[in-house]
Structure 1
Amino acid sequence: MKEDGGDPPGVWSAYGRLLQHLCKQVGLSEQKLGDAIGYSLEQAASVEQGRRPAKAAFTIAADRALEALSRRKLLSRVPLAELSFIISQEALRDLVGGPEVMRQRWRRLVEVNALQSQRNERR
């Protein structure tokens, strides 16, 4: 499925470059990525190199594998990354994913707030 029978679509390459960058940030090789998400080295390499599109299942599995290694790493690194957000009250009350997801969302907000409070106390 190439554009005009020529090169693969640019979005495939862009996705692959982003995936390579994220994997590099957390120290995952193509082989380790494939192992972590249940895909072969060839499949992972083909997506990273932009030769084939990432299917939804691949993207979901890769996001899960990279999530703990990148998102949490950013929030716990030293020096701590400074992030500020303004969250509307409606966004906090909007029921997304059911009661358990809402509890997890609130717990995470409390955890992040506690981290910020600890950081401010050290200053």
Structure 2
Amino acid sequence: MERANGRQQQKAAPATSTPDRAKRAPRTRASAPKAEDRPGIWTAYGKVLRRFRKRAGFTQELLAYRVGYSLEQTASIEQGRRPAKAAFTVAAERELDAGGVLEDLQEEVDFAKLPAFFRDFGLIELDAVSRFDYDPLLVPGLLQTPEYARALFEANIPALDPDTIEDRVDARISRQKLLTKTPMVDFSFVIGEAALRNVLGSRQVMRAQQEHLLAMGELRNVSIQVMPMTVGFHPGLNGPIVTVETCDHQHFAYFESQGIGHVVSVPAEVSMFALRYGKLRSQALNEKESAAFIRQLAGER
């Protein structure tokens, strides 16, 4: 767990004379990305952090103490070996009086945590005015709880190292700011019944996930519908579909399978995806029926 557990005990802060490089725990090969694989924004963030830290007269050890992170974690962020999380940035802004500079960089840091195959579409969805999503087997990423997302990444084949898992979870949860951003984006989600019944992680994880779906469905700009397994043929049997309209009224579609993503921009093909999605919405349970269905499932667990 990256954040220190509980409140810091009342004790004297570490001496500011402690050298920056002292007491650093070595990183394992499994959790340290190769230098050539590290996104440039991680290094840039670290350099800016170092400048503000030195301006404030802090050693790495003192900064780590003040923000509630370990010295090794703080050093890794400053050296660009690991990305900062939003909680670290908020604390560092407060302690170093960074004037919002680190917060401005955080969005780019989060974006660089996304899998490479998703980044092209990730840029597109940042400009969305509408985003329609159908997934037959999984709860869509924008609606996942951290525990559900972690269960997915922990089951990845080939296995991901713990740091990568945490980065992927953090990136997925950070993207969910799209649901409540201003101006509002119009979201529609059609979720296959199988995604709601398949137990990922544990029954407790699934119950929390279903309750989260009910809460998200209360947002004015979010529509959630369930596609029953008894509906027979529908145009989503070929796999997941996402369609997006951007603020300049460009239209895109996106689908992925086995860790490979495809952005579709040819108008005729995007129109085909939109037509299929419209049919999916007409065949799924309506919003009220879907909420009742999810509520019933949550009560069964």
Q: How does 1:1-123 map to 2 (within 5 A)?
A: 12-13=37-38, 16-17=39-40, 38=70, 39-44=72-77, 45-47=79-81, 56-63=161-168, 70-115=174-219, 118-119=220-221
| Secondary structure in structure 2 of the residue aligned to 1:83 | strand
In 2, the alpha carbon distance for the partners of 1:37 and 1:59 equals 18
Q: Distance in 1 between matches of 2:163 and 2:198?
A: 29
User: What's the CA shift for 1:19?
Assistant: 5.9
With over 3 angstroms needed to count, the CA separation of the structure-2 counterparts of 1:46 and 1:9, relative to structure 1, is closer
- The Cα shift of 1:100 comes to 0.9
Larger radius of gyration: 2
The residue type paired with residue 42 of structure 1 is: A
1:58 maps to amino acid:
D
* Residues 74, 81 of structure 1: 8 Å contact kept: yes
Hey, what's the Cα distance between the residues in 1 that align with 2:170 and 2:196?
27
In 1: Cα distance, 2:42 partner to 2:188 partner: 26
Describe the shift of the 1:41–1:9 C-alpha distance in structure 2 as closer, same or farther (beyond 3 A). closer
The alpha-carbon deviation at position 65 of structure 1 amounts to 5.5
Measure, in 1, the Cα distance between the counterparts of 2:41 and 2:186: 23
Higher relative contact order (CA 8 A, sep 6+): 1
Q: 1:98 to 1:41 in 2, by over 3 A?
A: closer
Deviates more, 1:100-109 or 1:37-46: 37-46
The 3 A distance-change label for structure 1 pair 60 and 113 is: same
Instruction: Call closer, same or farther: CA 1:46–1:19 in 2, change over 3 Å.
Output: closer
In 2, distance between residues paired with 1:18 and 1:102? Answer: 35
Q: What are the ranges of 5 or more consecutive residues in structure 1 without an aligned counterpart?
A: 2-7, 24-28, 50-54
Structure 2 gap segments, 5+ residues each: 1-28, 54-63, 84-159, 223-301
In proportion to residue count, which structure has more strand? Answer: 2
Task: Encode CA deviations 1:34-76: one digit per residue, 9 max, x unaligned.
Answer: 8676443431233259xxxxx83333444566666x2342222
Structure 1 residue 105: Cα displacement: 0.9
- Per the normalisation by structure 1, the TM-score is 0.50
Secondary structure (helix, strand or coil) at the match of 1:73 reads: helix
Alpha-carbon shift at residue 103 of structure 1 (Å): 0.9
What TM-score, normalized by structure 2, do the two folds share? 0.25
In structure 1, C-alpha distance between the alignment counterparts of 2:69 and 2:164, rounded to whole Å: 9
Q: Percent identity?
A: 21
Number of matched pairs: 95
**Equivalent residues of 1:17, 1:48 under 8 A apart:** no
